[in-house]
Structure 1
Amino acid sequence: MDHRVWPLLSLLVAVCSGNPILFGEITSPKYPQGYPNDAYQSWNISVPKGFGIKLYFLHLDIEPSQDCEYDFVQVLIKDEVKGKFCGRRIDGSSPTSPLYEQYYPTNNLRLEFTSDFSNEERYTGFSLYYIAEDLDECEESSETYCSHFCNNHIGGYFCSCPPGYFLQADNHTCGVNCSGNLYTDLRGQIHSPGFPSFYPENSLCDYKVRLIPGYQVVITFQAKDYDIETGRDGKCTYDILTIQAGEHTHGPFCGRSPPARIETGSNQVDILFQTDSGGENKGWLINYSEDAIPCDHRIFERSQLSPAKDKYVFKDTITVTCIEGYEFVIRKRNVPSIQSYCRGDGTWSVTEPKCQLVDCGAPSEISNGRPTFSKTTFRSTATYSCVSEYYQIVLPASGDGTFRCSSKGLWVDKNGNQELPKCTPVCGTFNSAASSGGRIFGGKRATLGKLPWLIAFVSPNRGAGALISERWVMTAAHVVQESDQPEMFGGLINLPTRTDANLLKAKKVIIHPKWVIEPLDKRVNFDNDIALIQLCSKVQLGPNISPVCLSSGTSPGFDDSGYIAGWGRTEKRHVSGHLMFTAIPLQKMEKCQEIVTEKKYTFSSNMLCAGDGAGNDSCEGDSGGPLTFLDHNNNEKMYVAGIVSWGVECGKYGVYTKVENYLDWIKETIDKVESEEGEGTGSDCR
């Protein structure tokens, strides 16, 4: 049978059998008439994937030319010319010519016909059939890739693998089944597929090692058991071994020099081995073993661990204590220690908080004083000083005045005590200008600040008193026996104007318990004529107001000169509006007894006699004021020895309450009151 008939019969059989084979006929313009000049026409031929296209030329009559330059029909695949035809080959001529039929291994092509502007003869063009013909994808010239076996079928192909291999997800590559291996023994060996023979290509192996918590996987290699293909640049670009331990990756590894011992730090390890399509290497063998996962104790900075060990492993429990000067702070509370245990993954159950430097905070304030410091942390120092020269620092018995921030967060002195110094008033500050002669009864005017302890009593009785501390005034009992709220002023010299005066408010008036209260005009017994007044608030000491000392440790001698001052009556029989002062000697009691003609007045050992008998004396309105002496043994301080009490004639001698006899009562009274209510620094009177 003529070969030109057989394709047509094949097409008919395919169509009749219902197979989806495409075919068709294409002819040149006006065929079988002569084709026109300057003609162009194209046809797109498409068949299903897995098929190629075969062309059968039944008629070919196109103007011949060198390389088909004038008129031609050509085949293009992706705009690339794959065949170009011209010349005269009509039915029955050259039946074996290779141009008579042509096969193209593609399912898409384009056919184009082109003629120029003239033809010397009449040419009828071409006539052809095309048909879809099965494509053999497994031919060596095919672009199809199968790593092992290629199997062709009508309309397509498939890859297959030899025994022991499986087709991977790309449906082209064969690999060995080397994943899913699980190792749970504490020790063992793992090797690449086929070891020590060549390992297979195109494989991805995953070996899983899973040990019980608390152990890490340790991997070791030997050089004789290690051979993995390396890229030409020496990098692991072809076959790769990696070890995945938790979030940490070791590798990639390749070549002939194995890695050093690997402590993975995890009880769960994946050994991954990936190969490409080439190479002949024997692979690897590893030994794995267990080791207790250590917990890094170095993370506990500035601390001590108990019990102390070089290495802590799973389930070890420790007590963490900060070193001296450091502490834990949890929710603003100081915590001496924390506990933590080593977990199976090599981490500690508790790592926070961290030890931080102890902070003692600002040193405590003291009344009339202040601390000086630059830092408040461990071993910082602070020193105390008073706010002015009118106060003096008094240190605790064992202290040196310097406090240090201790490891316990407390400010302590050199002996570890917390007792703070105190700023106590400087008493008896004496200005030598006050020693000038003169008389109260016709005496000399005092200037402001010369006698800063003098307190003026305005009502209910005119009188005076002495400031003996920041919050206590001493006076005569008969001055305050009629009122528990006497009107008092301190730090002044001019009583009518009261310029720059401090109004002092009494909280409590305490009269000596043995003082007998009776009207002054009928009084003949002034024994125990002494009283104390607690002020509502502490007096801020300064140049115009400060206390007098209570005692000197010695008693004044007869003929020793003391000083009296006040706003009482002068020799001109009027009350002075300005503070007056004078010096008078201490006398024996007989001097005062001589001028008392009436024997009804009482004299006792609680009294002193003073005056010069020549006009220097206290008088009415000076009651309660202090009789002061210089303490030559105590830095020239002034101390009070007597309180103006009574007399029968101004200008001669006066009787004073002997303060020395009441020192114990004064101290006990003040201590009792202040211990009962606390030592307040501010006003507590309504």
Structure 2
Amino acid sequence: MGTSRWLLLALLGCVSADSPPMFGEITSPNYPQGYHDNAKESWDVQVPEGYGIRLYFIHLDIEPSGGCEYDSLKVVIGGAVQDTLCGRNLGGVPGHPIKEAYYPSNTLKLLFTSDFSNQEQYTGFSAYYIAVDVDECDDSSINPCSHFCNNYIGGYFCSCPPEYDLHDDQHTCGVNCSGGQYTEQRGQISSPGYPSPYPENSLCEYKVLLEPGYQVILKFQPTDFDVEEANDGSCSYDSLTIKAKGDTFGPFCGKKTPPPLIETRSYEVDIIFQTDSGGDNKGWKLHYYEDAIPCPDQVTENSILEPQNDKYIFKDMVTVRCEEGFEMVTGDKKITSFMAKCQADGTWSNSHLQCQPVDCGDPEETDFGEVTFESSTYQSEAKYNCKSDYYSLLGEDTYHCSLDGIWVNSKGQNDPPICKPVCGKTTLQPQSRIYGGSPAENGYFPWVIHFPSGNLGGGALISDQWVLTAAHVVQDQDQPRIRAGDVIHRNGVELVAKKVIIHPRWITGDIENRQNYDNDIALVQLSRRVEMGPCICPVCLPKNIAVSSPDIDEVGYVAGWGRSSDKKAKTAKLQYAPVSVRKTEDCKKSVVTNQVFTENMICAGGDGKDSCQGDSGGPLMFRYSSEEVKDNRLYLGGIVSWGLECGQFGMYTRVSNYLEWIKETIEKTEKEDGEQEAEPLKICK
């Protein structure tokens, strides 16, 4: 090496005390003596950043082998082997290296290894390295700068043409085209340099800011748009995007013009133009102008505005009402209308108030009935019907949801219809021929009940909670025992009496020697309503029949568990017999005592057919003969009251004379009781 080169190395080595050295020397172990067997040595070589490394070998004597398999010196950069050296090269021109190599990296590793034998005493190697400046600007694979690259010893820097700025990455140049704000009522905005090609690597942001209450209208001409698009047709290279009041229009690119007219519905609009490092397109131009921001023609869905205008703009005031079938609810309060104002951003004040469908909720249920409906909103229809043939619907069956939010029938009534028990249903056929007393079957007289204690007797169910009987049967009992639901009284279900109400003109006294049975009638209220069915249902009251009914000689039925004329013990199974209505004079002629006869009594029986002890309070029943009743029914004409001798004429309380008292007493008592909460008692299986 000449004197000048060593002088250069000396100067380079003095660059900085803190920097890696600019040169150095490396020799194999035990050089220049022969290296040992199984040697393994490595050297890390590093020069300052911005430099590469050049290696010079002045001696190379390493055992040769195919592929340097025995002994070798390897040059490693970043974990990859760049060169592998071996063999004997001792000659050369003095002052010149026998081998040199350049590596464009400021770090590398030298790795020397030998195997188990060094028979000829190979001496190894001697080398030195120097730092060599890297020209980054000349390396096209690096391409460090978007525009101008400037190299210097140990590094490089990027620079930009006029009107461009160097970005923070210190590599990319772009135009500073942001910050433009437009406040005039109308104007024009374009990409930088339009119609010349726009700059690359740029982010241009423009803002249009008008007075509140006005919106920005953007207008594009077909020939004023040319923005680079990606090969797949997307806008991933360059793009124009418009943002206004939470809405985004775009991104737009290519040669296809955006919508010719964009109503932004905002007085504040941001226009964002972004470009990458390539392309040669001319860019874009648009015009903008202001227009009053319109408010929607509805403040809320299903609403009506007053006054009705073709267009509503900033500061317009309207009165808002709901369309028919809708209502406004705020909290738990309904309102009929409210005021709204068109605001600067094109929205209405009070738009949170909603017109929701009038909803009547589920129709009210009715006992022993069911209601079907598909919807509960305005004008929806609900249909009522009773669950069984033992009830009939009292009232209209069809209701609709009204504007007031309640279910009403055609008369505007909102109380649901009532499933009223069907009275007088009997399986006893009219054509049946009866001779004397006969045992009754279930279904003949399902209203007959039995009082098994006290003054033994019977009664008749006249509704789902009331029993009609004779006053003298229950005059001494506040809560008499009651059985019902089967012709064999022991098989009947025990019912609980709640209240006994005796006719106010009944004179309480001894039954044995009693002569006055006038007003022998009483009501017993059950503690729970009874569900009607084939084993129990009420008998009809004499409604809409002649005052004189039943007629003289009309045949009715009397039923009970009392004694018969030829049998001293009461029967286990309900017995019934046909009896004919007689003139009261016939009964008077048979009486030798001072018994009282009144218009409140019916005379019936004779010919060995009569009620007897234990039948008191039981029903005297007649068939309906009315155009209103087409099926087989019985009504309660009388109540077994008194008689002289079983099988002779008997006297019955005339029920038709007490209809008003029955009705008023039941209504008053049930009103005092209030709503019935207990589930109805189901007797029939």
2:617 matched residue in structure 1: 624
For residues 487 and 108 of structure 2, the distance between their equivalents in structure 1, rounded to whole angstroms, comes to: 128
- CA shift for structure 1 position 665: 1.7
- CA shift for structure 1 position 364: 0.8
Q: Is the 8 A contact 2:481 2:495 kept in 1?
A: yes
**CA-to-partner distance for each residue in 1:45-88, whole Å, 9 max, x for gaps?**
97645568999999xxxxxxxxxxxxxxxx9999699xxx9999
Q: Is the 8 A contact 2:242 2:269 kept in 1?
A: no
Q: Letter of the aligned partner of 2:611 in structure 1?
A: S
Alignment of 1:615 onto 2:608: yes
Q: Letter of the aligned partner of 1:387 in structure 2?
A: S
Unaligned runs of 5+ in 2: 28-41, 59-74, 111-125
Q: Please state whether the residue corresponding to 1:520 is helix, strand or coil.
A: coil
2:483 matched residue in structure 1: 489
2:598 matched residue in structure 1: 604
For residues 56 and 578 of structure 2, the distance between their equivalents in structure 1, rounded to whole angstroms, comes to: 155
For residues 570 and 17 of structure 1, the distance between their equivalents in structure 2, rounded to whole angstroms, comes to: 144
For residues 656 and 433 of structure 1, the distance between their equivalents in structure 2, rounded to whole angstroms, comes to: 23
Q: Is the 8 A contact 1:315 1:342 kept in 2?
A: yes
Q: Letter of the aligned partner of 2:625 in structure 1?
A: H
Alignment of 1:373 onto 2:366: no
For residues 23 and 358 of structure 2, the distance between their equivalents in structure 1, rounded to whole angstroms, comes to: 92
**Taking structure 1 as reference, are residues 407 and 11 closer, same or farther at Cα in structure 2, changes over 3 Å only?**
same
Q: Please state whether the residue corresponding to 2:179 is helix, strand or coil.
A: strand
1:586 matched residue in structure 2: 581
2:660 matched residue in structure 1: 664
**CA-to-partner distance for each residue in 1:452-507, whole Å, 9 max, x for gaps?**
3333333311233233222222222222222223333334444xxx3422333322
Q: Letter of the aligned partner of 1:472 in structure 2?
A: W
Instruction: Please report the TM-score for the alignment, with normalisation by the length of structure 2.
Output: 0.71
Q: 1:547 aligns with which of 532, 538, 545?
A: 538
1:537 matched residue in structure 2: 528
1:385 matched residue in structure 2: 386
For residues 110 and 568 of structure 1, the distance between their equivalents in structure 2, rounded to whole angstroms, comes to: 128
Q: 2:472 aligns with which of 472, 478, 495?
A: 478
For residues 620 and 576 of structure 2, the distance between their equivalents in structure 1, rounded to whole angstroms, comes to: 11
Q: 1:468 aligns with which of 455, 458, 462?
A: 462
Q: 1:673 aligns with which of 656, 664, 669?
A: 669
Instruction: Please report the TM-score for the alignment, with normalisation by the length of structure 1.
Output: 0.71
Q: Please state whether the residue corresponding to 1:365 is helix, strand or coil.
A: coil
For residues 448 and 273 of structure 1, the distance between their equivalents in structure 2, rounded to whole angstroms, comes to: 95
Question: Where do 1:151-550 residues align within 5 Å?
Answer: 155-161=154-160, 164-195=163-194, 199=198, 203-211=202-210, 215-222=214-221, 241-245=240-244, 246=246, 248=248, 250-255=250-255, 260-264=260-264, 266=266, 267-274=268-275, 276=277, 279=280, 283-292=283-292, 303-307=302-306, 358=359, 360-361=361-362, 364-366=365-367, 369-371=368-370, 373=372, 375-378=374-377, 379-388=380-389, 391-396=390-395, 399=396, 401-404=397-400, 410-418=406-414, 419-427=416-424, 429=426, 431-432=428-429, 436-439=433-436, 443-494=437-488, 498-550=489-541
Question: Where do 1:93-112 residues align within 5 Å?
Answer: none
1:72 matched residue in structure 2: none
Q: Letter of the aligned partner of 1:618 in structure 2?
A: S
For residues 356 and 609 of structure 1, the distance between their equivalents in structure 2, rounded to whole angstroms, comes to: 65
- CA shift for structure 1 position 259: 6.2
Q: Please state whether the residue corresponding to 2:669 is helix, strand or coil.
A: helix
**Taking structure 1 as reference, are residues 531 and 7 closer, same or farther at Cα in structure 2, changes over 3 Å only?**
closer
For residues 529 and 644 of structure 2, the distance between their equivalents in structure 1, rounded to whole angstroms, comes to: 37
Q: Is the 8 A contact 2:327 2:356 kept in 1?
A: yes
- CA shift for structure 1 position 650: 3.9
Q: 2:561 aligns with which of 561, 564, 567?
A: 567
For residues 371 and 163 of structure 1, the distance between their equivalents in structure 2, rounded to whole angstroms, comes to: 89
**Taking structure 1 as reference, are residues 522 and 295 closer, same or farther at Cα in structure 2, changes over 3 Å only?**
same
Q: Please state whether the residue corresponding to 1:663 is helix, strand or coil.
A: helix
- CA shift for structure 1 position 5: 6.1
Q: Which moved more, 1:232-241 or 1:288-297?
A: 232-241
**Taking structure 1 as reference, are residues 137 and 576 closer, same or farther at Cα in structure 2, changes over 3 Å only?**
closer
Q: Is the 8 A contact 2:561 2:571 kept in 1?
A: yes
- CA shift for structure 1 position 642: 2.8
Q: Letter of the aligned partner of 2:248 in structure 1?
A: H
For residues 494 and 140 of structure 2, the distance between their equivalents in structure 1, rounded to whole angstroms, comes to: 121
The aligned length equals 628
Q: Is the 8 A contact 1:448 1:493 kept in 2?
A: yes
Q: Please state whether the residue corresponding to 1:455 is helix, strand or coil.
A: strand
Q: Is the 8 A contact 1:433 1:450 kept in 2?
A: no
1:65 matched residue in structure 2: none
Q: Is the 8 A contact 2:300 2:351 kept in 1?
A: no
Question: Where do 1:64-83 residues align within 5 Å?
Answer: none
For residues 652 and 223 of structure 1, the distance between their equivalents in structure 2, rounded to whole angstroms, comes to: 118
Q: Letter of the aligned partner of 2:578 in structure 1?
A: A
**Taking structure 1 as reference, are residues 12 and 491 closer, same or farther at Cα in structure 2, changes over 3 Å only?**
closer
**Taking structure 1 as reference, are residues 108 and 520 closer, same or farther at Cα in structure 2, changes over 3 Å only?**
closer
For residues 404 and 628 of structure 1, the distance between their equivalents in structure 2, rounded to whole angstroms, comes to: 41
For residues 292 and 658 of structure 2, the distance between their equivalents in structure 1, rounded to whole angstroms, comes to: 83
Q: Letter of the aligned partner of 1:423 in structure 2?
A: K
Q: Please state whether the residue corresponding to 1:306 is helix, strand or coil.
A: strand
Q: Is the 8 A contact 2:294 2:314 kept in 1?
A: yes
For residues 278 and 181 of structure 1, the distance between their equivalents in structure 2, rounded to whole angstroms, comes to: 24
Q: Is the 8 A contact 1:477 1:515 kept in 2?
A: yes
**Taking structure 1 as reference, are residues 483 and 185 closer, same or farther at Cα in structure 2, changes over 3 Å only?**
same
**CA-to-partner distance for each residue in 1:290-332, whole Å, 9 max, x for gaps?**
345566779966x335356666667778888776667789999
Q: Is the 8 A contact 2:642 2:652 kept in 1?
A: yes
RMSD between aligned residues:
5.6
Q: Please state whether the residue corresponding to 2:477 is helix, strand or coil.
A: coil
**Taking structure 1 as reference, are residues 272 and 483 closer, same or farther at Cα in structure 2, changes over 3 Å only?**
same
Q: Is the 8 A contact 1:425 1:470 kept in 2?
A: no
For residues 276 and 444 of structure 1, the distance between their equivalents in structure 2, rounded to whole angstroms, comes to: 115
Q: Is the 8 A contact 1:241 1:254 kept in 2?
A: no
- CA shift for structure 1 position 512: 1.6
1:70 matched residue in structure 2: none
Q: Is the 8 A contact 1:449 1:491 kept in 2?
A: no
**Taking structure 1 as reference, are residues 576 and 272 closer, same or farther at Cα in structure 2, changes over 3 Å only?**
same
- CA shift for structure 1 position 236: 7.0
**Taking structure 1 as reference, are residues 186 and 436 closer, same or farther at Cα in structure 2, changes over 3 Å only?**
same
Q: Is the 8 A contact 2:363 2:407 kept in 1?
A: no
For residues 15 and 369 of structure 2, the distance between their equivalents in structure 1, rounded to whole angstroms, comes to: 115
**CA-to-partner distance for each residue in 1:160-186, whole Å, 9 max, x for gaps?**
456544333343454443222233444
Q: Is the 8 A contact 1:455 1:488 kept in 2?
A: yes
For residues 222 and 351 of structure 1, the distance between their equivalents in structure 2, rounded to whole angstroms, comes to: 40
2:590 matched residue in structure 1: 595
**Taking structure 1 as reference, are residues 681 and 434 closer, same or farther at Cα in structure 2, changes over 3 Å only?**
farther
Q: Is the 8 A contact 2:452 2:481 kept in 1?
A: yes
Q: Letter of the aligned partner of 1:503 in structure 2?
A: E
Q: Is the 8 A contact 1:559 1:586 kept in 2?
A: yes
Unaligned runs of 5+ in 1: 28-41, 59-74, 92-98, 112-126
**Taking structure 1 as reference, are residues 421 and 376 closer, same or farther at Cα in structure 2, changes over 3 Å only?**
farther
Q: Is the 8 A contact 1:239 1:276 kept in 2?
A: no
1:121 matched residue in structure 2: none
Q: Letter of the aligned partner of 2:659 in structure 1?
A: L
For residues 330 and 608 of structure 1, the distance between their equivalents in structure 2, rounded to whole angstroms, comes to: 67
**CA-to-partner distance for each residue in 1:23-64, whole Å, 9 max, x for gaps?**
67999xxxxxxxxxxxxxx99997645568999999xxxxxx
**Taking structure 1 as reference, are residues 545 and 258 closer, same or farther at Cα in structure 2, changes over 3 Å only?**
closer
For residues 427 and 327 of structure 1, the distance between their equivalents in structure 2, rounded to whole angstroms, comes to: 48
Q: Letter of the aligned partner of 1:250 in structure 2?
A: G
* Greater Rg by CA: 1
For residues 533 and 233 of structure 1, the distance between their equivalents in structure 2, rounded to whole angstroms, comes to: 93
Percent of paired sites with the same residue? 45
For residues 491 and 234 of structure 1, the distance between their equivalents in structure 2, rounded to whole angstroms, comes to: 87
